[in-house]
Amino acid sequence: MTVTPPRLADRWPVLGRQLRDALVAQGDDALGSQIETLCVVTTCGCGDAFCQSFYTAPKPNGAYGPGHRNVVLDPPWRGMLILDVVHEQIAYVEVLGRRPLD
């Protein structure tokens, strides 16, 4: 039996809206349109108290390689919001220095 991971918009609706709004404000509507369908595959797991990052695609074995880029966004909190985008698909959302996800 295959378990479908939860959608970002269902698990953390406020963060989902903030992420979409930050992408649209930056003019990246194509990535912003992905937010409603992104799933939370697994959390980062680093154990750092300030990190709430998560994968929206399976964790790579090593580096992402060709087709990878980082998108640095201006979050509405003191901290960082950085996306790993692979072949124009959001693969990882780095959330640093934010109060607990909601």
Domain ranges of the chain: 8-96
If residue 18 lies in a helix (H) or strand (E), which one and from where to where?
helix 13-25
- Residue 2 pLDDT > 80: no
If one counts every other C-beta atom within 10 angstroms of the C-beta of residue 92, the result is 21
Residue 25's pLDDT is 95
Give the model confidence (pLDDT) of 4-59 as tens digits: 899 999 999 999 999 999 999 999 999 999 999 999 999 999 999 999 999 999 99
